[in-house]
Amino acid sequence: MSELPGVRRLATVTIPAPDLRPGAFLRLAAGEARGFWARGDRWVAHRGVLADLRPEADDATDRYQEVARAARALVRDPVLPSGAARAARVRFYGGFSFRRDDTGDGPWTAFPAARFHLPAFELEGDRDGDAWLRARALTSPEGASDTLKRLRRAAEGLRAELAAYPETVQGDVGRRPTVRGVGRATDRPTWEEAVRTSLAAIRRGEVSKVVLARTLDVRLQEPVDPVGVASELWEANRGSYLFLFEPEPGRAVLGAAPETVATLRDGVFHATAVAGSIRRGNGPREQAELAAKLLASEKDRTEQRIALDDMVARLETVAHRIRTDPQPHVLTLSRIQHLETEIRASVPAGTDILDLLRLLHPTPAVCGLPRDEALRFLAAEEPFQRGWYAGPVGWFDGDGNGVFAPALRCAVTSDGVWRLFAGAGIVEGSDPGLEWEETAMKLTPVLEALRANGVVLESAVPSAT
């Protein structure tokens, strides 16, 4: 694990911050590490770094265990403000790469096998206007009182600054300067041939499913703030799990995932098994017709059942009272529809969210089945490094609770280039042309968020990667 601060006692001050919004909080943090996480009307934003948790690059390292151990050391014996019965909740934000041995090269240089931040400031709220601002510092026991006073002054000063900062009008493309860019996409014939190779492996019995991804690189003439792109994604994809993590200035991963890998709160586990796709359609009638078609599709139901059965089988090794919906239902998002099944379970005391991630990731929804064979197949067939694409991103707290989603419908940005990712589950019955169209739908959310921030693509040319 990378070196942690020598002082171990964590001090936190929380103040009410009604009507503050995450946009101003994050824009004023340009040049710092920052992040944003939201689902529906609930959101949390953070900025600054008190601790940067990164396991050492060692194949023998259990990255989940290393992150958990470092986090526990930081939250042990916190400083309590006068009159407080317990310490404020402490969250660590970040994620894991898709592969344990990922080298973090290319656009992923700021994203090693695991990376989590304990932020200096945190703003949490909802659309009703309720919000809370937290300021944190690491302090010595003898300096705790002065540190708490300093943190309160810092929080109150930031609250006043944010209250005076005008929010950018969301979605007002006309007021945003045009930023021209060139797109370079995975070559369609090459990708469709990879789908046919996948189907041949399925027919030989080597795998029952693989999730094959492709990329679209967008090179911009001028930088675009990831906060603006994340804000547009949030506005347009209310049913998804929105994530933005910028651990270093100008190097960010963001996206809008339709599912969660694992949510744990006080021993209660929740996740969703999502697979199968069809477009949303124009208007309620077409939407309903397409939803019915998806529910009737043997190919899509098989793909979704593969994901569900594997997640349940893995959970059975640690959880009890596992409950699932008797039949999948249709999850309707802004542009696409999926088959979804809810999973709930109880987990024993001492099992935390990172234990569950170690067990579940990568799920068949992002990798395939059998897991090891699908991983080997993807390593041979995908001509790019996945990095954090399809890896679990989210947060966990000092009590082992947390929320993690797979990094899907996502992009990574570095050095003026945005690399977008999209994948499709390949099973018996998959059609290469239809799978290409499905991945095009999945690239759309980030593309449209870029366009809403003034990006105009002048061309799109094929690429082998």
Active site residues: 209, 259
- CA atoms of 417 and 127, how far apart (whole Å): 32
Residues 6 or more apart whose CB falls under 8 angstroms from that of 358 comprise: 62, 64, 65
**Cβ proximity of 10 and 136 under 8 Å:** yes
- Omega before 362 within 30 of 0, i.e. cis: yes
**Cβ proximity of 394 and 263 under 8 Å:** no
Task: Region of 213 please: left (phi>0), alpha (psi -120 to 50) or beta.
Answer: beta
Q: Tokens 């309720």: give the residue.
A: 130
Helix axes of 63-75 and 353-360: crossing angle, nearest 10 degrees: 170
**Cβ proximity of 383 and 214 under 8 Å:** no
Angle value at C-alpha 312, between 203 and 274, nearest 5 degrees: 70
- CA atoms of 465 and 191, how far apart (whole Å): 10
- CA atoms of 454 and 55, how far apart (whole Å): 38
**Cβ proximity of 125 and 43 under 8 Å:** yes
- CA atoms of 453 and 254, how far apart (whole Å): 15
**Cβ proximity of 354 and 67 under 8 Å:** yes
406's tokens: 């797979």
Q: How many residues does the chain have?
A: 465
**Cβ proximity of 55 and 61 under 8 Å:** yes
- CA atoms of 84 and 311, how far apart (whole Å): 40
If one counts every other C-beta atom within 10 angstroms of the C-beta of residue 348, the result is 9
**Cβ proximity of 402 and 345 under 8 Å:** no
- CA atoms of 420 and 438, how far apart (whole Å): 14
If one counts every other C-beta atom within 10 angstroms of the C-beta of residue 312, the result is 18
Helix, strand, coil percent values for the chain (each to nearest 5): 30, 35, 35
